[in-house]
Copies of this chain bind each other. A is one copy, B any other.
Amino acid sequence: MDNPRKSPTMTDVARKAGVSPMTVSRAFKPGSLVNDATRARILAAAEELGYVLDSTASSLRSQKTDFVAVTIPSINNANFADTVGALNEGLKHRGLQILLGYTNYDMQEEERLIEQLLRRKPQAVVVTGGKHTPRCRRLLTNANVPVIETWDLPEAALNHVIGFSNAQAVQSMVDHFVAKGLTRIAFIGGDADRDTRGLDRRLGFVAAMQRHGLDATRLIAAGPPPISMREGADAMVHLLDTAPDTEAVICVSDLSAFGALSACQRRGIPVPGQISIAGFGNYEVGAICVPSITTIDPGPKEIGARAASLICKVLDNSTTEAICEHIQPRLLLRESSI
């Protein structure tokens, strides 16, 4: 037996198969010209030796890592998970492997993460959101790879964009409620200084309310993101205590909306009889619960799928032109709102 700590290399396989290392390399590359019999002999030798191709060496020599770096605020969020899932689905056929990082809704953390991920020399970068630290922007620009900002419409795009306006989406929800005759409308969201998409939604709420000449001060800050069900429930309790005449609540996400709904149910407050509730994101819970929750579907999977297509296109053509694709969020009216 040889030393089990040392893995076999192409040279070992080549010797065993009676060919040169170069031929082994070709045998492992799908589209290349190797005699069928030779290839079979090589693959058999490799299997017998337990040989596994070393992508590290391959990447260094060919200057192609087949990595795509992706950052999302949190791993435990079904919306971002859907985007990453669709992205992965669209990339894996090309042999592209996602390198995933979590920013924890923090631009400083994003900067650290991007710096670390860029060292792996990804062939494309997909980030969530359109706001970044100056150094992060510099790092991404210098990297000379396609960058896609998602889930937002940045003021100054780094490169490509696949997103939508969070503010506008919420404005359409406010318009819907106002058209139904509701005027005392509240917003439940996270603290303003972290989650920029959540902040944009709040700003959209305030802008729309002011446009309608309505009171835009029923703003419940539910703490630092992520704002999930528990935070939504607590915020609703607070709202019911401080502004019991509220007619409708728009929540930063379906998760907090479901929490808010549950808080109403525990207090015996009919939804939508006394209060209408709306969320954001079209999470599964909002479609299944009773009453189902009115929401906005920003198409998380579509964002991921389009990002994958764009990456593939750019890597083929090496197109330099920056693309900006707008996703149109859909308003889904359900039982939780009149």
Contacts and interface: CB of A to CB of B under 8 A. Distances in A.
Interface stretch (A159-167, A227-235, A238-246): A227-235
A100 B100 contact: yes
A175 interface: no
A81 B102 CA distance: 12
B121 A288 contact: no
Contact of A76 (B85, B262, B287): B85
Contact of A262 (B5, B144, B228, B288): B288
Interface stretch (A15-23, A51-59, A180-188): A51-59
A118 interface: yes
Given A76-B78, A76-B85, A52 B143 contact: yes
Contact of A119 (B53, B98, B115, B144): B53
A274 interface: no
A4 interface: yes
Contacts of A287: 229-230
Interface in A283-297: 284-285, 287-290
Q: How many copies of this kind of chain does the complex include? A: 2
Contacts of A52: 115, 118-119, 139, 142-143
Interface string A112-123: 000110111100
Contacts of A120: 55-56, 97
A88 interface: yes
What is the size category of the interface that chain A forms with chain B? 35 or more
A288 B258 CA distance: 8
Interface in A203-262: 228-230, 233, 255, 258-259, 262
8 contacts: A54-B119, A56-B56, A75-B81, A75-B85, A229-B287, A258-B285, A262-B288, A285-B285
Interface of A: 4-5, 7, 50, 52-57, 59-60, 65, 74-76, 78, 81-82, 84-85, 88, 95, 97-100, 102, 115-116, 118-121, 138-139, 142-144, 228-230, 233, 255, 258-259, 262, 265-266, 284-285, 287-290
